[in-house]
Amino acid sequence: MRLRVVVYNIRGFRDGLGNVAELVAGYEPDVLLLNETGRRGQLRRLARTLGMEVAADPRAYLQRRVKNAVLARTPWRIIEHRLHRFERSERFYPRGALMAHLGRSGFRVWALAVHLGLSPAERRRHVQELTDRAAGLPGAVLIGGDLNELADRRAAAWMGERYWDVWLLGGDASGETFPASDPTARIDFLFVSEGIRVERAIVAGSPLAASASDHRPVVAELSLPEPRAT
């Protein structure tokens, strides 16, 4: 089963919802993992424009939002979703993982959208918490988002020791995603669990990708393992 996944930090639509929608639509993703999703109404508008179902953070009284989201395109559907808030996160910019269980005609996959913080110590704590939580998920797992650090730093390396970094298996060129106008750093990642085959991974290179956000999206073509007969 082929699966196209896009990972994108959209900077709260500050560069225009229409620009984000146009850029993403050109890649026709089955699954879209988003960071910095802005206001709920804008996120719902994006989902409607793209014809995708959206799983976002639930409303929480007296708590700041963790603005990650997972979107899925028919025939994929969102079976369930939940937000995991990382412990000891920055009070005014809480971090976490939006976890969505997706399914279609016998296939199941967990998709996690994550955005790590600016402090190296915080990032290290949170990826350990993330992989502990992901280890209990059955079946195929996708973990994507803005890690705010390079692949050779400790948090990204921790992820790479436990999941496959799609760029290392199928990446085209060097993979820099930030800043979008002239990328010099690969800080946006997609990791996959054992058994998922990476066919190809690219970073969007169109003129629109340089201006729709301050990050460029990562686009991956994956093949999911066939479900086991029971």
CA distances from 111 to 97, 158, 206 (A): 10, 19, 26
The dihedral sign for the CA sequence 195, 199, 203, 204: negative
Residue 88 has pLDDT above 90, yes or no: no
Question: Residue 140's beta-bridge partner residues?
Answer: 109
182-222 per-position pLDDT tens digit = 999 999 999 999 999 999 999 999 999 999 999 999 999 99
93 vs 39: CA distance, rounded Å: 15
Domain ranges of the chain: 2-223
**What's the rounded Cα separation, in Å, for the pair 182 and 210?**
8
Q: How many Cβ atoms are within 10 Å of 60's Cβ, its own excluded?
A: 12
| CATH code assigned to 2-223 | 3.60.10.10
Distance CA 53, CA 73 (A): 6
Distance CA 132, CA 87 (A): 13
AA letter at 123: R
Q: Which two tokens stand for residue 147?
A: 């890690």
Residues contacting residue 18 through CB under 8 Å, at least 6 positions apart: none
Q: How far apart are CA 52 and CA 20, in angstroms?
A: 14
Model confidence pLDDT, tens digit, residues 148-192: 999 999 999 999 999 999 999 999 878 999 999 999 999 999 999
Q: What pLDDT score was predicted for residue 213?
A: 98
Tell me the one-letter amino acid at 13: F
DSSP, res 178: B
Which residues make beta-bridge pairs with 218?
7, 203
pLDDT at 62 over 80: no
Mean pLDDT of 20-41: 97
pTM of the model: 0.95
